[in-house]
Chain A
Amino acid sequence: ILNVEQSPQSLHVQEGDSTNFTCSFPSSNFYALHWYRWETAKSPEALFVMTLNGDEKKKGRISATLNTKEGYSYLYIKGSQPEDSATYLCASRGFEGAQKLVFGQGTRLTINP
């Protein structure tokens, strides 16, 4: 069973502040970890795909880290802007059955101006 958990479920952050949230996945069955951003009235879009322990990826003010040994990933947003408001989803592919892409419940981020 590939369970992916995200926390918190929702988050309100003041514009300009930095924030982070967590994704946990089974470390015993890991192939890749994905992060997606899902804006209202749009489709989810991939931010990062990570496979290596200790990997860190960055796109503008958003970055992510990966710990495959303990089974977690963090997503960081530096200097939050209103356009960062979205639901952030992580998804995991297990080593067994890597075709299957299982998502967590998401973290709904709201940036207050």
Chain B
Amino acid sequence: SQTIHQWPATLVQPVGSPLSLECTVEGTSNPNLYWYRQAAGRGLQLLFYSVGIGQISSEVPQNLSASRPQDRQFILSSKKLLLSDSGFYLCAWSQGYTEAFFGQGTRLTVV
């Protein structure tokens, strides 16, 4: 069966520090991969999605970047965090255009 792992679960980082959130999927190949953010009181905002290794589509101009170095690995990064980067980040995968399956999320607080 397929599983998705996302870590860390919580993170407190100072302004200006770098960020790396990792997401891996098991039990499937060539998944579509997604990074979403939920800011306080809002829905899920699509940040990045990827349909294959090295293929990244960015949805929102911002302080973040994403990479897909392996088929089932998706990484969200920042060189210098801003206060506005605080939020709840979710990784998800889908097989083709079917339903999405989500990781447990990372609560990021930038202080």
Of all chain B residues, which has the CB nearest A107? B43
| Chain B neighbourhood of A98, CB < 8 A | 97
Select one of A43, A101, A106 contacting B43, CB under 8 A. A106
User: For the complex, would chain A's binding face be called helix, strand, loop or mixed by DSSP majority?
Assistant: strand
Considering only CB atoms and an 8 Å cut-off, how many residues of chain A contact the other chain? 22
**CA gap between A106 and B39 in the complex, in Å:** 12
Select one of B44, B49, B99 contacting A99, CB under 8 A. B49
| Chain B neighbourhood of A109, CB < 8 A | none
User: For the complex, would chain B's binding face be called helix, strand, loop or mixed by DSSP majority?
Assistant: strand
**Cross-chain contact A43 with B51 (CB below 8 angstroms):** no
**Cross-chain contact B90 with A43 (CB below 8 angstroms):** yes
B111 interface residue (CB < 8 Å to A): no
Q: How large is the interface on B (under 10, 10 to 19, 20 to 34, 35 or more residues)?
A: 20 to 34
Of all chain B residues, which has the CB nearest A4? B43
**Cross-chain contact A43 with B103 (CB below 8 angstroms):** yes
| Chain B neighbourhood of A91, CB < 8 A | 44, 100
Identify which of B36, B43, B97, B103 gathers the most chain A CB atoms within 10 Å of its CB.
Answer: B43
B65 interface residue (CB < 8 Å to A): no
A26 interface residue (CB < 8 Å to B): no
**Cross-chain contact B99 with A43 (CB below 8 angstroms):** no
A71 interface residue (CB < 8 Å to B): no
Select one of A43, A99, A104 contacting B104, CB under 8 A. A43
B77 interface residue (CB < 8 Å to A): no
Given contacts A43-B103, A43-B104, A99-B51, contact A93 B97 (CB under 8 A): yes
**Cross-chain contact A101 with B98 (CB below 8 angstroms):** no
B32 interface residue (CB < 8 Å to A): yes
Identify which of A46, A93, A101, A105 gathers the most chain B CB atoms within 10 Å of its CB.
Answer: A101
Given contacts A34-B100, A89-B43, A93-B97, contact A101 B105 (CB under 8 A): no
20 intermolecular pairs with C-beta atoms under 8 Å apart:
A34-B100, A36-B100, A44-B90, A46-B99, A46-B101, A91-B44, A99-B32, A99-B49, A99-B51, A99-B97, A100-B57, A100-B59, A101-B46, A101-B49, A101-B92, A101-B94, A103-B36, A103-B43, A104-B43, A105-B43
